């Protein structure tokens, strides 16, 4: 009797629940109101304020170590979101937030796979593709045409259509691409110049020099504490990249990209061989050569023993235990502020080194667009996201950046691709007195006017010496971060260097299903070879495995793409 009773209850529950879930999914499917009918009716003003407050929900990436928000402000409600509200009457709401990096990516993936998207999001290339394939995104072609500000359109044009191509599928534009400075993709050598001076050394030009300097950094106690506890070359943390690759081509901090470059090796990139056919950089003999050298350096204790294992790669740099690391120009934003807080003498300088056997610096270049603002299909105000970006580009120089601009809702970098080199040159000329602020009139270099105004706040005389003692970070940390990044980090980029571009910066059809396995094979093999857990000849096995497990097929597809 009672058993029967239970079953009845369970059956009833089952019906009830499935009814609920059906309703839910129907609701989602049916939720496609006529797209942007008000687009045509009102006059398209890129900065137009909505008459009635509209709401835009989005997912937000938050840096857990960031403590810059003043008391009472939150990632959802801060100076930037209020600015958007005041100027555009858009009420931005954070539907969920996640820590920068893997956590955020995972959260986006979950939102994609459960088809439960906020109104707008910032996503990566692979995610954009998945969302377009799933039909989850609003077509922004018309909205962009009508609402994007001239500045943004101008930035887009300067990439020669590359950015446009990245967001166009079947002739429709499904995202607003970031337009990043090319310096984000150039990884330079940052080195403790105070250590070099102390040991009477010069910045290492070649791989041999680098080895000598590294040896001195490990053995001659450059931090002067009497203990042999310094790391010569810092490495990436657990889960981070050994080198930037074609799919994530920029901002690889603490990788070893320039060392590969010194052997003319560009792993992770799609290069052209002599016959003009595409080849994958990771399987070339140059890469084996570079790996053999890295293995050697590691065995001699010149590379961080805990490369790829460390929880935070910042740590040895901040604690003054590391002497060399490889990263893009913007290190003044982090980790260097913390490093000089601990040791005001830590004189980190950036160089385009080491050089290859021909005396050239080889840099693999990033894609101009690696981040994308997308709008959920069926959102009533697709142009709202565009307006917010318009406003960001127009007014970024007015913001108080002691709260990082990353707190701007849906912020993606937007600028001329040469902005950092150009600004660095301009600032040098201003400091040298050879140019005047009035000489710079292109408003597209949106931060330059403010930069010129601020530079002398933090830069002390002599203006042509960039050593740390001629700076005053205390005067304004936010300004110092930018100026140090430009004048130290970007100055080197004005010189000539060999720019290597990938043939392809996104995925082919087969890569969608096979790439994760190939990538894992590559990551695991390379790290093991470097750390001595596998013999160097495992590289050959990797090459044949890579080809058999889909690599050859993908190479064919890349070839088709080039035609």
Partner 1 sequence: MRNRAFTKHYYIMLLPGFVWLFLISIIPIFGVVIAFQDFNPGQGFFKSEWIGLENFRYMFSLNDTRTIFFNTIFIAVMKIVGNLMIPLVFAIMLNELRLMAAKRWIQTIVYLPHFLSWVILSGILLDIFSYTGPVNVLLHTFGIDPVLFFARADLFPFIVVGSDVWKEFGFNTIIYLAALTGINPSLYEAASIDGATRLRRIWHVTLPGLRATIVLLSVLSLGNVLNAGFDQIFNLYNPLLYSTGDIIDTWVYREGLLNMQYGLATAVGLLKSIVSFIMIIVSYMLASKFANYRIF
Q: How far is the CB of 306 from partner 1 (least distance, A)?
A: 5
516 makes contact with partner 1 (CB under 8 A): yes
Q: Helices (H), strands (E): how many in the chain?
A: 21, 15
- Distance between start and end Cα atoms, the chain: 74
Return the structure tokens found at 14: 């089952």
Q: Which of residues 295-314 bind partner 1 (CB under 8 A)?
A: 305-306, 308-309, 311
Nearer residue to partner 1 within complex by CB, 287 or 525: 525
Reduce the DSSP state of residue 106 to 3 states and report it: helix
**From 18-26, 79-87, 167-175, 194-202, span contacting partner 1 (CB under 8 A):** 18-26
Query: Which residue among 8, 22, 25, 53 contacts partner 1 (CB under 8 A)?
Result: 25
What count of other Cβ atoms lies within 10 Å of the Cβ of residue 18? 10
Nearer residue to partner 1 within complex by CB, 238 or 469: 238
Q: Are 546 and 521 in contact (CB under 8 A)?
A: yes
Nearer residue to partner 1 within complex by CB, 295 or 407: 295
Q: How far is the CB of 459 from partner 1 (least distance, A)?
A: 38
Query: Which residue among 531, 543, 554, 558 contacts partner 1 (CB under 8 A)?
Result: 531
562 makes contact with partner 1 (CB under 8 A): no
Nearer residue to partner 1 within complex by CB, 506 or 549: 549
DSSP assignment of 400-412? -TTS-GGGSTT--
Query: Which residue among 19, 513, 544, 560 contacts partner 1 (CB under 8 A)?
Result: 513
Distances 272 to 277, 355, 501, 503 between C-alpha atoms, Å: 5, 21, 10, 7
Q: How far is the CB of 39 from partner 1 (least distance, A)?
A: 23
Q: How far is the CB of 412 from partner 1 (least distance, A)?
A: 21
Which is it for the CA torsion 419, 318, 363, 310, positive or negative?
A: negative
Q: How far is the CB of 121 from partner 1 (least distance, A)?
A: 14
122 makes contact with partner 1 (CB under 8 A): no
Q: Are 279 and 271 in contact (CB under 8 A)?
A: yes
Residue 83 half-sphere exposure toward CB, CA atoms < 13 A = 20
Nearer residue to partner 1 within complex by CB, 130 or 365: 130
Q: Are 303 and 233 in contact (CB under 8 A)?
A: yes
Sequence-ordered list of residues with C-beta below 8 angstroms from that of 450, at least 6 positions apart, any chain: 397, 398
Q: How far is the CB of 355 from partner 1 (least distance, A)?
A: 30
C-alpha span between 479 and 474 (Å, rounded) = 10
Return the structure tokens found at 162: 């590359």
Report the interhelical angle of 125-133 vs 102-113 (nearest 10°). 0
Nearer residue to partner 1 within complex by CB, 6 or 275: 6
C-alpha span between 80 and 295 (Å, rounded) = 47
Q: How far is the CB of 302 from partner 1 (least distance, A)?
A: 15
Query: Which residue among 312, 342, 474, 517 contacts partner 1 (CB under 8 A)?
Result: 517
Q: How far is the CB of 529 from partner 1 (least distance, A)?
A: 11
C-alpha span between 165 and 187 (Å, rounded) = 25
Q: How far is the CB of 232 from partner 1 (least distance, A)?
A: 15
239 makes contact with partner 1 (CB under 8 A): yes
Residue 273 half-sphere exposure toward CB, CA atoms < 13 A = 13
Q: Which of residues 219-238 bind partner 1 (CB under 8 A)?
A: 238
Nearer residue to partner 1 within complex by CB, 188 or 253: 253
C-alpha span between 184 and 447 (Å, rounded) = 17
Strand partners, 90: 54
**From 4-12, 179-187, 288-296, 487-495, span contacting partner 1 (CB under 8 A):** 4-12
Which is it for the CA torsion 529, 534, 539, 544, positive or negative?
A: negative
Instruction: Provide the strand spans (E) within 442-545.
Output: 498-500
Q: Tell me the Cα Rg of the chain.
A: 26
Distances 121 to 13, 139, 162, 167 between C-alpha atoms, Å: 36, 14, 21, 14
Query: Which residue among 21, 300, 342, 469 contacts partner 1 (CB under 8 A)?
Result: 21
Q: How far is the CB of 115 from partner 1 (least distance, A)?
A: 5
97 to 116: interface string for partner 1, x by CB under 8 A: -----x--xx--xx-xxxx-
Site of tokens 């000489």: 439
Using CB under 8 A, count the residues that bind partner 1: 48
Q: How far is the CB of 103 from partner 1 (least distance, A)?
A: 11
Query: Which residue among 467, 524, 538, 556 contacts partner 1 (CB under 8 A)?
Result: 524
Q: Are 521 and 542 in contact (CB under 8 A)?
A: yes
Nearer residue to partner 1 within complex by CB, 336 or 530: 530
Query: Which residue among 57, 78, 81, 136 contacts partner 1 (CB under 8 A)?
Result: 136
Q: How far is the CB of 468 from partner 1 (least distance, A)?
A: 28
Query: Which residue among 523, 538, 556, 557 contacts partner 1 (CB under 8 A)?
Result: 523
**From 11-19, 182-190, 350-358, 380-388, span contacting partner 1 (CB under 8 A):** 11-19
Strand partners, 280: 270
133 makes contact with partner 1 (CB under 8 A): yes
The residues that touch partner 1, with contacts defined as CB under 8 A, are 1-2, 5-6, 9-10, 13-14, 17-18, 21, 25, 102, 105-106, 109-110, 112-115, 126-127, 130-131, 133-136, 238-239, 305-306, 308-309, 311, 513, 515-517, 520, 523-524, 527-528, 531, 533, 549
């Amino acid at each position: 009797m009672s058993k029967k009773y239970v079953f009845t209850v369970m059956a009833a529950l089952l019906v009830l629940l499935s009814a609920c879930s059906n309703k839910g999914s129907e609701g989602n499917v049916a939720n496609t109101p006529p797209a942007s009918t008000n687009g045509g009716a009102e006059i398209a003003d890129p900065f137009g304020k909505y008459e009635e407050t509209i709401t835009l929900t989005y997912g937000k990436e938050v840096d857990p170590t960031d403590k810059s928000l003043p008391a009472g402000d939150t990632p959802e409600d801060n100076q930037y979101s209020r600015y958007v509200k005041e100027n555009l009457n858009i009420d931005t709401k954070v539907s969920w937030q996640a820590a920068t990096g893997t956590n955020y990516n995972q959260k986006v993936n979950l939102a994609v796979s459960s088809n439960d998207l906020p109104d707008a999001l910032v996503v990566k290339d692979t995610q954009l593709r998945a969302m377009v394939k799933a039909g989850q995104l609003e077509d922004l072609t018309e909205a962009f045409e009508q609402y994007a500000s001239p500045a943004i359109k101008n930035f887009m044009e300067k990439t020669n259509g590359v950015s446009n191509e990245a967001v166009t599928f079947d002739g429709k534009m499904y995202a607003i691409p970031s337009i990043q400075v090319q310096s984000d993709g150039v990884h330079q050598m940052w080195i403790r110049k105070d250590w070099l001076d102390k040991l009477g050394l010069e910045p290492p030009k070649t791989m041999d020099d680098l080895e000598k300097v590294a040896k001195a950094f490990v053995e001659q106690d450059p931090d002067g504490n009497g203990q042999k506890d310094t790391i010569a070359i810092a490495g990436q943390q657990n889960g981070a990249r050994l080198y930037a690759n074609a799919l994530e081509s920029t901002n690889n901090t603490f990788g070893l990209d320039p060392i590969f470059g010194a052997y003319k090796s560009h792993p992770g990139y799609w290069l052209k061989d002599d016959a003009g056919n595409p080849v994958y950089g990771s399987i070339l003999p140059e890469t084996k050569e570079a790996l053999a050298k890295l293995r050697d350096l590691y065995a001699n204790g010149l590379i961080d023993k805990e490369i790829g294992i460390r929880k935070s790669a910042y740590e040895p740099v901040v604690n003054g235990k590391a002497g060399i690391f490889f990263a893009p120009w913007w290190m003044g934003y982090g980790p260097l502020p913390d490093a000089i807080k601990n040791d005001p003498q830590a004189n980190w300088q950036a160089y385009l080194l080491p050089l290859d056997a021909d005396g050239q610096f080889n840099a693999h270049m990033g894609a101009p667009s690696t981040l994308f603002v997308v709008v959920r299909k069926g959102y009533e105000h697709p142009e709202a996201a565009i307006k917010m970006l318009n406003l960001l580009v127009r007014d970024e120089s007015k913001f108080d950046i002691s709260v990082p601009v990353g707190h701007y809702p849906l912020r993606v970098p937007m600028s001329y691709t040469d902005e950092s080199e150009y600004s660095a040159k301009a600032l040098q000329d201003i400091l040298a007195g050879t140019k005047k602020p009035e000489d710079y009139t292109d408003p597209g270099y949106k931060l330059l006017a403010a930069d010129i105004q601020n530079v002398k706040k933090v830069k002390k005389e002599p203006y042509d010496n960039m050593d740390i003692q001629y700076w005053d970070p205390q005067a304004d940390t936010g300004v110092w971060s930018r100026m140090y990044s430009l004048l130290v980090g970007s100055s080197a980029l004005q010189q000539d260097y060999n720019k290597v571009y990938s043939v392809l910066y996104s995925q082919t059809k087969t890569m969608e299903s096979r790439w994760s396995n190939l990538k894992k094979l590559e990551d695991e093999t390379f790290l093991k070879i470097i750390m001595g857990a596998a013999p160097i000849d495992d590289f050959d096995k990797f090459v044949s495995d890579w080809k058999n497990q889909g690599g050859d097929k993908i190479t064919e597809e890349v070839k088709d793409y080039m035609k």
